[in-house]
Chain A
């Protein structure tokens, strides 16, 4: 039940910012500081999402650290995001097997 509420809540707060510009007066130009703040959110959010959460993917923090490092390297080499995802999963599996 709580899951349905979460999904409904997420749906509402995701649709609102997409929908609001339809309603507000035409040619509203947001102040530049607001523009910059809104555009900075994804980078700040990604940082906060990655660390320290990545340390908790396994009881052994090294599993997250190694998977994360490999992901950084693969992404740095400009590989497609799906290869980055699978690379980190593969590394996590190997690290876990090696440490246990």
Chain B
């Protein structure tokens, strides 16, 4: 019992840098979502049920440009397919846990929790214990949801001149994610730029949501061809 409590707290502590990263982004999400005309309930519900940062921003973006429901759901699927690989590697680490717990923990897998959970487990066995993982994943999830709520409540008090310009914040986030990846590995820049070109081209013929999906699938195929295995992350 004591050991479990210790592991739980150690998981929460490991989540701390992640909370610092999540909170401002979740708050921005709340503000931008309400400014896009999505009510507070649906905004918070999205963070509660979907819990995938980039695709939530993308959904708001697509919704404001008038994309259909099917387009948004399909684009979310494509964007989050990458979690399959992360989950595959985590489930290997967690194969001592019962299926029912693994199914619950699966919901908490994000790019960031994956990085922490997969790195720490090699250090000590306690880090793949149930209590540790609950501490880590619940703290991360909690900060994402509560940040969204805070942002949603703040949206009403931010003056319209500022909030009208906040939709660019989405793109700021996308750029802030892409540029460091390109600095680490220039080939990812080629994939992104080709994807931009494809998306611009497809935009002439299809709705913007489908253009994004098509450009992503074709761009990633190019990526699979030019990125070597060890480079691909």
A19 at interface, CB cutoff 8 A? yes
A43-B153 Cα distance, complex, nearest whole Å: 32
What are the interface flags for A6-31 relative to B under an 8 Å C-beta threshold, 1 for contact and 0 otherwise? 11111101111111111000111010
Which A-chain residue is minimally distant from B223 (CB atoms)?
A40
Count residues of B near A (Cβ-Cβ below 8 Å). 94
Tell whether A67 pairs with B171 under 8 Å between CB atoms, given A8-B49, A19-B103: yes
Chain B residue, CB-CB nearest to A76: B179
Q: Mark A51-92, 1 if CB is under 8 A from B, else 0.
A: 111101110000110011001101110100110111111011
Smallest CB-CB separation from A8: which chain B residue? B49
B13 within 8 A of A: no
- In the assembled complex, which residues on chain A have CB atoms less than 8 Å from the CB atom of B38? 3
Q: Quick check: is B24 within 8 A (CB to CB) of the other chain? A: yes
Cβ B178 vs Cβ A40 within 8 A? no
Interface residues of B in 3-44 (CB under 8 A from A): 21, 24-25, 28, 38-39, 42
A17 touches B87 (CB 8 A): yes
Q: Does A46 contact B (CB under 8 A)?
A: yes
- Write the chain B residue with the least CB distance to A42: B82
B208:A89 contact, CB within 8 angstroms: no
Q: Which residue of A lies closest to B192 (CB)?
A: A47
Beta-carbon contact of A76 and B183 below 8 Å: yes
Tell me, yes or no, whether B177 is within 8 Å of chain A by CB.
Answer: yes
Residue of A nearest to B95 (CB): A26
* Known contacts A21-B88, A53-B65, A41 near B73 by CB under 8 Å: no
Q: Is A99 an interface residue (CB 8 A)?
A: no
Instruction: Say if the beta carbon of B150 comes within 8 Å of chain A.
Output: no
Q: How far is the CB of B79 from chain A (nearest CB, A)?
A: 5
* Contacting residues, chain B, for A52 (C-beta < 8 A): 196, 199-200, 203
30 contacts between A and B (CB under 8 A): A3-B42, A6-B69, A10-B52, A10-B56, A15-B106, A17-B82, A17-B83, A17-B84, A21-B84, A22-B87, A26-B95, A36-B223, A39-B227, A39-B233, A43-B188, A43-B219, A44-B191, A44-B194, A45-B58, A45-B195, A46-B192, A47-B199, A48-B198, A49-B58, A51-B200, A52-B199, A53-B171, A53-B208, A67-B171, A68-B168
Binding site for A on B (CB under 8 A): 21, 24-25, 28, 38-39, 42, 45-46, 49-52, 54-56, 58-59, 61, 63, 65, 69, 72-74, 76-85, 87-88, 90-92, 95, 99, 102-103, 106-107, 109, 161-162, 165-169, 171-181, 183, 188, 191-196, 198-200, 203, 208, 211-212, 215-224, 227, 229, 232-233
